[in-house]
Structure 1
């Protein structure tokens, strides 16, 4: 009987994990599917400007969200449902405060597009909180519905606005940001109404409760700022720096190549999500040793070179066909970032092992060192030429591997110590 219950539980966990993976892949796949349309409508200059403002949005989200979704999840598992509405409300009011500051900054700088970035970050934070609410209460289909609704809204609003409103390149960039805002806004309103029906969450407003809720969010969120900033720097800072040092046309060609190559990370992370439970199960039952893990690691180092060779073999005419004639030069950046992103494969092998053994401090140290190396390389290489900027990502991806490898050896030494 116990074995039957265990099998049913494992089956449910596998099904839920699959649903979450489908949701994440759908959300990340839509920008890629829109890519050929956007590159043709915006051109290289407009696409470069859009990439710049989306990168700014990613940095604003760090301060706007302050890892509220993680705080919500922890609160639910530690304290239960009672008072969860106060945490949601406190987080929402904090985000409103950041939005007001952002609005003032945008007004002082006379930047309408910057305001759209702040508003997009605000709505993204609210959506993240709604997703966390579903995830911690084990509502995978609700989670998937929000992700699908957001992805579909993103697609439809973009097509509708571009179809019915004319304008120059700057107008088109603004229209794309407005489409993102509308998609997030409609999805959030629907998710909030659905949450009140599903979970019967009460918002009991008192200054004391809000102060406690805000203190809880700040206590958990502030220490994670460095982690979030480190991750975003390596994923977005290059486009911000390129926008300042090079032309929007060059940034557009560069960003298109990055986005095509990033489709590889969608596949890698989906496979990783599916394989992690099996890896942990093998580690728990001691069917996976450090020696076996290292053998897999050395084999996985061949994958980046194979994938890069495949990307290099693709004709540049393929990029011209996919993105438009002006983006033929994006082929070079696709090849470079396929190499950079495929280094995630050996990285995940090592980092998942360290996560299993609760070596979070060591992982964080490696991430900080890798980020510092990336910043130095990015600053130096961007002063040489745009063509060598991708090497900053490659170098930082290579640097972190021996550090993680060293810590996996340390885990084995500790296990052997009597």
Structure 2
């Protein structure tokens, strides 16, 4: 089989990423559109309470399935027949549900003591108890979503997740507007998860044979269990900043920090969409072409980094003025948090590249070790800096921790098997983005209008700067422009610029 060129591969990857990205934009965009409503009906203290509880839901959702979500994806590609795949996925799904049930019951029992020790400002009942069972319901939808991704059925994946998000959001808004406060928000999330579980279970039962075989489960656990410490360390990366903030600052400040963090986490739209399309593309390409595909994959990584730098630069420059429209006046200072979180999410997006290579090579044991180190660094930096500098220090710590996560994961993957990244291009585009951001941040402007206009120009200068630095040539820009417009020509493959 003749390996496809970078232009063809990029066209395929962009098509899937566009669908996944549209779904992510709609789901998270809905949350952004509702920020004015939430900031009107929820005080900063209530929003801080919601943010802490939702973070607990996410962390529990990582713990419950024992890392078997990733094993399902791998199983799809390794199964020889449809019947074998149904048995394997059935075993893994049953194991995830049993594990989630047991853990939820345990946390429901010991939760009050844990909450008093770890989050003294957040009552276990009703807030954290709602998190325990919302996370449990979320596990029920993992298998069908993973299978849709593995089959590269991006549209079905997006429609399913978007439907669940819309119904959940509608319930949350109704309860919050009726004066439910933080409790109403979290109750709405639980009800929405319960409604979404019904079609998820129905779809799962169509795709599995409900058997439970230890001969299938044990090798899968050998692959996935090393990821459980990774999930625990994920708690340190995702939640420790807000948990530590509650020990030194009031919930009011936690709420403002959480809004700034959420605005910065908009970069997750890009990384989530990319990774959802990237995993099946990468695994399928490496299976078909082997190491011959490495230069092509490395070029696509460069384009991904370019997109992250461009979008992250624009949002970091403009968020100070965008927040005036997005949030209520008492939340305005949240913009100071956002650029640091944007940088962290850029690092987090790039981290996915060596991580997926480690997944492919079945070297997952190194992933939790690296995450533990980065998570511990985040906790340590928060404990050291937050008492001295306040909430902004938590954002600094987040950036540093995700940077450490990227560097250590890259180093671990390279030590096991070097990969031909385009280091010069990556370094130049990162340096250019940083220089433009610092210019826009510290350059004095005589008026708000000129400041907004100047920052927009600095943002749009990024691709032109790449051309001037020789980081990307005009032919590549033309190819990318045609791909983004959906044209079918293949000038890159004709000219040989992108191979």
1:123 and 2:137 matched: yes
Change (3 A) 1:69 1:22: farther
Matches within 5 A, 1:57-96: 57-76=57-76, 77-78=78-79, 79-82=84-87, 84-96=89-101
Pairing 1:182–2:191 present: yes
2:333 aligns with 329
Structure 2 residues not aligned, in runs of 5+: 116-123, 421-499
Could you tell me which residue of structure 2 aligns to residue 395 of structure 1?
A: 400
1:146 and 2:160 are equivalent in the alignment: yes
Contact 2:265–2:345, Cα closer than 8 Å, also in 1: yes
Matched, 1:253 2:256: yes
Match in the other structure for 1:341: 345
SS, match of residue 328 in structure 1: helix
Against the structure 1 CA distance between its residues 45 and 18, is the aligned structure 2 distance closer, same or farther, given a 3 Å change threshold? same
2:379 is equivalent to residue 370 of structure 1: no
1:46 pairs with 2:46:
yes
Alignment correspondent of 2:435: none
- CA drift at 1:74: 4.0
Q: Larger deviation: 14-23 or 98-107?
A: 14-23
The within-5 A match list for 1:81-230 is 81-82=86-87, 84-106=89-111, 111-136=125-150, 139-163=153-177, 165-166=178-179, 171-196=180-205, 198-199=206-207, 201-203=208-210, 209=212, 218-230=221-233
Superposition TM-score, scaled by structure 2 size: 0.66
SS in 2 for 1:81: helix
Whole-Å Cα distance in 1 between the matches of residues 152 and 253 of structure 2?
45
Q: Which moved more, 1:19-28 or 1:94-103?
A: 19-28
Deviations 1:11-38 (A, max 9, x none): 8887556544544554444433332321
Preserved contact between residue 25 and residue 270 of structure 1 (Cα < 8 Å): no
**What displacement does 1:256 show?**
0.2
How far apart, in 1, do the equivalents of 2:158 and 2:91 lie? 25
TM-score (norm. length: structure 1): 0.77
Question: Relative to 1, partners in 2 of residues 1:13 and 1:381: Cα closer, same or farther, differing over 3 Å?
Answer: closer
CA distance in 2, matches of 1:132, 1:273: 9
1:76-116 CA distance string (max 9 Å, x none): 54442136434433432322222222222357776221210
Deviation, 1:185, is 1.1
The answer to whether the 8 A contact 2:271-2:349 is kept is yes
Q: For residues 292-334 of structure 1, what are the alpha-carbon distances to aligned partners after superposition, in whole Å with 9 as ceiling and x for unaligned?
A: 899x69x969948x95686356545x42431101101111112
Give the SS at the match of 2:86: coil
Structure 1 residue 180: Cα displacement: 1.2
Spell out the pairing of 1:26-45 with structure 2 (5 A cutoff): 26-45=26-45
Which segment is superposed worse, 181-190 or 86-95? 86-95
- Secondary structure, counterpart of 1:66 in structure 2: coil
The alpha-carbon deviation at position 225 of structure 1 amounts to: 0.6
The secondary structure found in structure 1 opposite 2:42 is helix
In 2: Cα distance, 1:413 partner to 1:62 partner = 30
The question of whether the paired residues in 1 share the 8 Å contact of 2:230 and 2:369 is answered with no
Q: 1:273 to 1:113 in 2, by over 3 A?
A: closer
Alpha-carbon distance between aligned partners in 2 of 1:275 and 1:73, rounded to the nearest angstrom = 13
Paired residues in the alignment total 397
Instruction: Return closer, same or farther for 1:75/1:340 CA change in 2, 3 Å cut-off.
Output: closer
- Residues of 2 paired with 1:36 and 1:21: CA distance? 23
**How far, CA to CA, are the matches of 2:357 and 2:195 in structure 1?**
40
The alpha-carbon deviation at position 213 of structure 1 amounts to 7.2
Q: Is the 8 A contact 1:68 1:129 kept in 2?
A: no
Residue 264 of structure 1 corresponds to 267
Kept in 1: contact 2:63–2:231 (CA 8 A): no
What per-residue deviation string (whole Å, max 9, x for no partner) do you get for residues 236-272 of structure 1? Answer: 2211221233211000000000001111231244356
Unaligned runs of 5+ in 1: none
Give the drift of 1:120: 0.7
